[in-house]
Amino acid sequence: MKVVIVGGVAGGASAAARLRRLNENAEIVVFEKTGYVSYANCGLPYYIGGVIEDKNELALQTPESFWRRFRIKINVHTEVLSINREKRNVKVKDLLTRREWEEHYDKLILSPGAKPIKPPFSGIDDDRIFTLRTVEDTFRIHDYVKERIPNSAVVIGGGFIGLELAENLKEMGIDVTIVQLLNQLMVTLDYDMASFVHNRLRQAGIDIKLNTSATGFENKDGKIVTLLKDQPGIASDMVIMAVGVVPDSSLAQSAGLRTGIHGSIYVDEHMQTSDPDIYAVGDAVHIKHFITGEDALIALAGPANKQGRIAADNICGIESTYSGSLGSSIIKLFDMTAASTGLTETVARAAGIDCESVVLSPISHAGYYPGAKAMTIKVVFEKNTLQLLGAQIVGSEGVDKRIDVIATAIHAGIRADKLKNLDLAYAPPYSAAKDPVNMAGFMIENISKGLVKQYYWSNAWNLPRDGSVTLLDTRTQAEYVRGSAEGYINIPVDELRDRLSEIDKQKPVYVMCQSGLRSYIACRILSENGFDCYNFAGGYRFYESVIKEKMIPDKIYPCGMERTGD
């Protein structure tokens, strides 16, 4: 059996190695258009920023190491031009010698990846405008920064690559402006959770322009000027285009293979295309979202690696299927970590799911052990079934393990309230006896059993301040005077029982504290005494982050956020 693989990196390289482990006698040939067959794609921004100092560390495998270990023939700087499905061969071109030939296959695996979106803007071919997708792209940016020593950069796009590059360039002393078409960065987070990211980047000195559209570029006074719609342009020494990627599916389309959403390569759960002898994996294929079952494009390394293994299994006669992706992801931004898995509340509601969320602000480990740091967790679930839909976490220490626990729970079909039952490791330096994930389960159980009613930041912003409702802050007086939500009176939770007479029982009571815990306790006290009360989801820390974002001048807010009288 001869297997030809088009493209390396995560999907193709994983498929090649798995094929060899399953079949020692197969002939395996890989064609890779770039000069690197297996490299740390996600590490590219960190080489530019100098965090990874040796460029050789980016290469996970070389053609030589692949041959020594697996006896797999790797051809770099080699492009597959076309596929002849009837003859089962591919037309190949050596990009260095320009020689062309045909290569036969018994089975073919396509792993072409995705390509950066490069809009047809005026001036976009300026050599100071970069995209980042390959190792060669990385070297170009790295060499430019080292040789030209730019003072300023514009990053267009607010996804993973754009933000990681913004962080690394800023750490090098370069002034950075991020231009984002949408009203938030990181669409893997809801707007409220993204507010923490916005605030942290601004704190680091990065200028963020949301709801801003780039329209082109021009050369002026030795600078590259990014032209903006309805705004003055931004002059800088370099520009990073990071507005997203599209499936690189032209080879498959030319061969007449069935396509999926946005021109992606259609595959079934075995990673098999519409041709039984051709498989496809990685960023170019459409997959199913694990929760909704809807077609999706998820360009992440983890899914690509798994898909490569699954394709190899099926080629070798081992039944293997891909059950879909949750899109679990994580990013480091200075000392902040932001992670997500599954559906955001925004996406869930857009899909017609009747969902609810809980927001909590626990600390990373036991409070009495030094170094505990706050994080904010948002868990989204379906109201009636309590099906776990997704989660987002922003913080520093301990974010990664909590998001992985919740991703595992979603995949295992654990109901949202049953997060309370997870038996998670505890020691003071690592967690609390009731882990934040357990706490989320407790909160969801309380909501499902009617022990507490919630209100959210958008509700809090729009609540009347005319005395028709009671707005109650249950933090200590010292906390309250350092900052509070407009119109909230202060009765510390430990004084509440003795001061119930100060609250009108005929009015609904909206309660807030720092993290949501003390306000929940207050709500139980009030409910037991006949008050109609609502607990604020996330606490003042959460509220403050969103309101800081809202108060930025000339900002356009999400639908429904505008407050009457502003």
Q: Describe the crossing of helices 63-70 and 9-22 by its angle, rounded to 10 degrees.
A: 20
> 201 with 176: CB under 8 angstroms?
no
Q: Is 538 exposed, middle or buried (0-12, 13-18, 19+ CB in 10 A)?
A: buried
Q: Is 483 exposed, middle or buried (0-12, 13-18, 19+ CB in 10 A)?
A: exposed
> 18 with 3: CB under 8 angstroms?
no
Identify the DSSP state of 419: G
Q: Could you give the angle at the alpha carbon of 396 between the alpha carbons of 391 and 402, nearest 5°? A: 35
Selected catalytic residue, list 42, 316, 523, 559: 42
Return the structure tokens found at 52. Answer: 């990874």
| 190 three-state secondary structure | coil
> 346 with 340: CB under 8 angstroms?
no
CA pair distance 460, 485, nearest whole angstrom: 9
| Residue 520: closest CA among 447, 470, 467, 448 | 447
CA pair distance 278, 266, nearest whole angstrom: 11
Beta bridge partners of 357: 380
> 237 with 148: CB under 8 angstroms?
yes
CA pair distance 546, 540, nearest whole angstrom: 10
Q: Judge whether 42 counts as a catalytic residue.
A: yes
| Residue 413: closest CA among 393, 435, 385, 384 | 385
Q: Could you give the angle at the alpha carbon of 495 between the alpha carbons of 490 and 497, nearest 5°? A: 115
Kindly report the three-state secondary structure assignment for every residue of 286-335: CEEECCCCCEECCCCHHHHHHHHHHHHHHHCCCCCCCCCECCCEEEEECC
User: In angstroms, what is the C-alpha Rg of the chain?
Assistant: 27
> 58 with 52: CB under 8 angstroms?
yes
| Residue 282: closest CA among 2, 13, 4, 3 | 13
Residues with catalytic function: 42
